[in-house]
Amino acid sequence: MQAHTSRHTGLKEHGIERPGKVHWNLPPPALYEKILQRGEGQLSQGGALVVRTGVHTGRSPRDRFIVREPSTEDQIAWGAINQPWEPEAFDLLHQKMLRYLEGRELFVQDLAVCAHPSYRVPIRVITELAWHSLFAHNLFLRPEPPLHSPPFFTVICAPHFQAVPERDHTRSGTFILIHLKKRLALIGGTHYAGEIKKSIFSVLNFFLPAQGVFPMHCSANAGAQGDVALFFGLSGTGKTTLSTDAQRWLIGDDEHGWFEGGIFNFEGGCYAKVIGIRPEHEPEIYQASLKFGTVLENVVLDADTRVPDFASAAITENTRAAYPITHLERVVREGLGGHPKAIFLLTYDAFGVLPPIARLSIEQAIRYFLLGYTAKVAGTERGVREPQATFSPCFGAPFLPRPPAVYAQMLRARLEQHQASVWLLNTGITGGPFGVGQRIPLAQTRALVRAAIDGTLERAPFREDPIFGLKVPARYPGVRADLLQPWRAWQNRQAYDEKAASLATLFERELKRVETSEGEWANG
Do residues 448 and 425 make contact, with C-beta atoms less than 8 angstroms apart? yes
Identified catalytic residue from 219, 240, 244, 289: 240
Identified catalytic residue from 23, 94, 124, 217: 217
Identified catalytic residue from 63, 110, 254, 465: 254
Beta-bridge partner residues of 103: none
Identified catalytic residue from 23, 56, 59, 367: 59
Rounded Cα distance between 30 and 229, Å, is 37
Is 190 a known active-site residue? no
Is 367 a known active-site residue? no
Query: Residue 445 to residues 242, 246, 373, 459: CA-CA distances in angstroms?
Result: 9, 14, 18, 18
Identified catalytic residue from 116, 191, 197, 198: 198
Is 450 a known active-site residue? no
The residues, any chain, with a CB within 8 Å of residue 516's CB and separated by 6 or more, are none
Rounded to 10 deg, the angle between the 28-37 and 130-139 helix axes is 150
Identified catalytic residue from 235, 312, 326, 517: 235
Is 254 a known active-site residue? yes
The strand ranges marked E within 83-129 are 83-85, 106-113, 121-127
The residues, any chain, with a CB within 8 Å of residue 25's CB and separated by 6 or more, are 1, 2, 3, 4, 108, 109, 110, 146
Is 120 a known active-site residue? no
Phi, psi of 364 (to 5 degrees): -65, -40
Is 273 a known active-site residue? no
Rounded to 10 deg, the angle between the 362-371 and 404-418 helix axes is 150
Identified catalytic residue from 56, 132, 137, 320: 320
**Among 238, 447, 465, CA closest to 354:** 465
Query: Residue 33 to residues 39, 51, 89, 137: CA-CA distances in angstroms?
Result: 10, 14, 38, 15
CA dihedral 460, 465, 469, 475 (to 10 degrees): -10
Is 198 a known active-site residue? yes
Do residues 392 and 384 make contact, with C-beta atoms less than 8 angstroms apart? no
Identified catalytic residue from 23, 142, 197, 239: 239
Is 172 a known active-site residue? no
Do residues 290 and 321 make contact, with C-beta atoms less than 8 angstroms apart? no
**Among 263, 25, 275, CA closest to 127:** 25
Rounded Cα distance between 85 and 111, Å, is 27
**Among 287, 314, 284, 285, CA closest to 299:** 314
Rounded Cα distance between 1 and 26, Å, is 8
One-letter amino acid at 363 equals: E
Beta-carbon-side half-sphere exposure of residue 385 (alpha carbons within 13 Å):
1
The strand ranges marked E within 173-268 are 175-179, 184-188, 214-222, 228-232, 249-252, 255-259, 262-265
Q: Strand, helix or coil at 219? A: strand
Do residues 94 and 313 make contact, with C-beta atoms less than 8 angstroms apart? no
Do residues 75 and 348 make contact, with C-beta atoms less than 8 angstroms apart? no
Helices (H), 455-492: 481-484
Q: Could you give the residue numbers annotated as active site? A: 59, 198, 217, 235, 239-240, 254, 320
